[in-house]
Structure 1
């Protein structure tokens, strides 16, 4: 095992500071907070934070060649930008904006400190081999619901490319530039606040390729955003139940959300077009498995079924494609 991922005792340092001020930029715009934190476990930053990224051009999540991950979030304290990188096993983080302290306070949870992979016992050699090859996988916990819920709603019943495009267009048009001296080429944006989501005109949803059903679900969620954000502090099943009170949010969407907001290790994504076949093929050679068969195969991993699914997806063992890809829709020109 490389020294980068060698377990080390937890150590935390927090300090205030300022970055160099680019010419012409107001001084207060560059005030930053920094924190270093050393996990006591192997950590792969890409695997852990990867689920938060909605496509390669996600305006709220970007990576840079130096290995840094940049996130723009709307926290309870306001917009914030977080840059985090691993240096010899230590997470070095810097944050800007009103939400900077909130983001830094929760850095350990973001990097999987609340996760318990030791509770997972592989019962299939594929899972055992993948877990051995991926010791740095941790389940992230953002503590933020809407930033995972809205893109999950956009992903309902469409291709990922369509959903990523809609998220990108809406965030860039109705969000705001991320605070701090972020590299301009990243074009990092904070997603719109709940009120702004409710004010997006119907034709703009249409131009982004979002049908009325998904747009209406997002509007209903945005109107009760404060109540939904409370779900981040609940047990995952309670959190899913809270989300599913909103028409248009079902088990698929709630699971996709709490996997990220709550770090839920057992939240299984049911109702997915491809996942049952992937899990059925990996564990039983059954590429035609449905949700019922998938849940039966994952039953030995109760309490850790989402982790089992992540490991299967990371294993690369997927059924050969025999059917055409899902057709890409485009409602914008209609």
Structure 2
């Protein structure tokens, strides 16, 4: 059964309430929405589709997430849109009951390496606010006109409208969770003026900033200068395995695990910050201390990518769980996520440090580099991981590692510092692998590992990884890398998640 809903491949079972047959799978293909299917989803209030599309009600002028608890409107009064920005451009305002702008992001944008997918990730990262549409287009290698045309053709709106929706969501978050003045909120959200801020809030939420603040519920307490937020995700969510992965690789002085809280420093476009992430019921609690509030949206998005919060675990688990070999691993750890990265350059440096050494040895060397070349973050004495620019200037012979690896590290940092190599949310995975393998001392494993963690590519298989091969051998799979790579083709398009299941089976 095929239904055109959100522009991504999904293999989750169709719930009976949505009209599916036992054993059928949903295959969501491109761009145009199937209104009848979307309406069945809305009637069933299936939360799995929150963030994948919104429904707008012509009789009320409001748009909602599919799982909104309000009474389902008549079919004739409903329109469906791929993004909140598209609904806003059509004249609808956000529901203040289900808060559709606070739903998990669409997994579509993390699965796609085409122009629209990469553009959506960069818009979410705040590139339009920092560099404008021209800067976004240059980053993607196209003209601003072509980019605008492609986004309108698929989404119905261009980058300015998408960025406007992002600013509105950030502003609402700050209004409802902080005591900042509205002028400070407007500045932090990226608005160019107080008037633009007020007009946008009224249009998007049908309320003034003062009315939004007066309606807010209980605000979670946090320390002075700290913004506390809830990061939504789709269930199930295996926080235990994800936190264990991060703890094992935590760089001393940069990252730490304190009980259930993962804390780390982050380098952001306008300054540095410290984020603390704690799993809770149905969400991840995030506490952010930022040097510049303009980095709030970017910090939140990078935390989401780090924890893979926009993934569709039901689709992934259904596909991999049907495999006789992976099935028991998936059943033991439903909702396993692929850890991402808050900084592509940092992750690339750490990947080179981890070549041919244990995880413990790699984190020790990374900790030494952070202590020697990272900037201190006051007042807790933690450090930000050193920049590629700082490390590119070093003499390889002074680094605490074999000479060949030190030369590879400096060459990598030079490429990152010069802009010859860019690793961020908008990077095409295939282009990243090609560019990385062209550098001295970087082979398929390092390039593949970075494609998996930095770009969020869902279908990377590290057949040469020692841990993957050990886990595969324990399951009775082929031991040689070429044979194992051939075997793993049956796990497409979720081989990145298969890698995590194999790694996790070793620790289990």
Instruction: With the length of structure 1 as denominator, give the TM-score of the two structures.
Output: 0.75
Matches within 5 A, 1:22-61: 31-53=225-247, 55=249, 58-61=252-255
- In structure 1, the residue matched to 2:468 is 275
CA 1:175–1:234 in structure 2 vs 1: closer, same or farther (change >3 Å)? same
2:345 is the counterpart of 1:146 = yes
Per the TM alignment, residue 49 of structure 1 is displaced from its structure 2 partner at its CA by 5.0
Answer whether contact 2:228 2:288 (CA < 8 A) is retained. Answer: yes
Matches within 5 A, 1:111-150: 111-117=307-313, 118-119=315-316, 120-142=319-341, 144-150=343-349
Answer whether contact 1:140 1:260 (CA < 8 A) is retained. Answer: yes
Answer whether contact 1:62 1:69 (CA < 8 A) is retained. Answer: yes
Bigger CA radius of gyration: 2
Q: Which of 286, 289, 292 is the aligned partner of 2:482?
A: 292
Q: Return 5+ residue gaps in structure 1 as ranges.
A: 1-5, 19-28, 319-334
- In structure 2, the residue matched to 1:220 is 411
Moved more, 152-161 or 221-230: 221-230
* CA distance, structure 2, for counterparts of residue 125 and residue 316 of structure 1: 18
Q: Secondary structure at the match of 1:74?
A: strand
Q: Provide, for residues 10-64 of structure 1, a one-character-per-residue CA deviation record: whole Å limited to 9, x for no partner.
A: 863723659xxxxxxxxxx963333222223222334335544563553322111
Answer whether contact 1:48 1:112 (CA < 8 A) is retained. Answer: no
* CA distance, structure 2, for counterparts of residue 204 and residue 46 of structure 1: 38
Answer whether contact 2:394 2:410 (CA < 8 A) is retained. Answer: no
- In structure 2, the residue matched to 1:254 is 447
Answer whether contact 1:72 1:190 (CA < 8 A) is retained. Answer: yes
Aligned residues: 291
Which structure 1 residue ranges, 4+ long, deviate > 6 Å from structure 2? 6-10
CA 1:270–1:104 in structure 2 vs 1: closer, same or farther (change >3 Å)? same
CA 1:30–1:224 in structure 2 vs 1: closer, same or farther (change >3 Å)? farther
Q: Provide, for residues 109-151 of structure 1, a one-character-per-residue CA deviation record: whole Å limited to 9, x for no partner.
A: 3332333441433343342122122123122333631121111
Matches within 5 A, 1:1-334: 12=102, 14-15=173-174, 17=178, 31-53=225-247, 55=249, 58-65=252-259, 67-98=260-291, 100-101=295-296, 102-117=298-313, 118-119=315-316, 120-142=319-341, 144-178=343-377, 182=380, 188-205=382-399, 208=400, 210-225=401-416, 226-284=419-477, 289-316=479-506
CA 1:316–1:275 in structure 2 vs 1: closer, same or farther (change >3 Å)? closer
* CA distance, structure 2, for counterparts of residue 227 and residue 50 of structure 1: 34
* CA distance, structure 2, for counterparts of residue 71 and residue 151 of structure 1: 15
Q: Secondary structure at the match of 2:425?
A: helix
Q: Provide, for residues 194-250 of structure 1, a one-character-per-residue CA deviation record: whole Å limited to 9, x for no partner.
A: 221123344541xx3x11221122212222223433453133222222322322222
Answer whether contact 2:321 2:331 (CA < 8 A) is retained. Answer: no
Write 1 or 2 for the structure with the bigger share of helix.
2
Q: Secondary structure at the match of 1:121?
A: helix
Q: Secondary structure at the match of 2:230?
A: strand
Instruction: With the length of structure 2 as denominator, give the TM-score of the two structures.
Output: 0.51
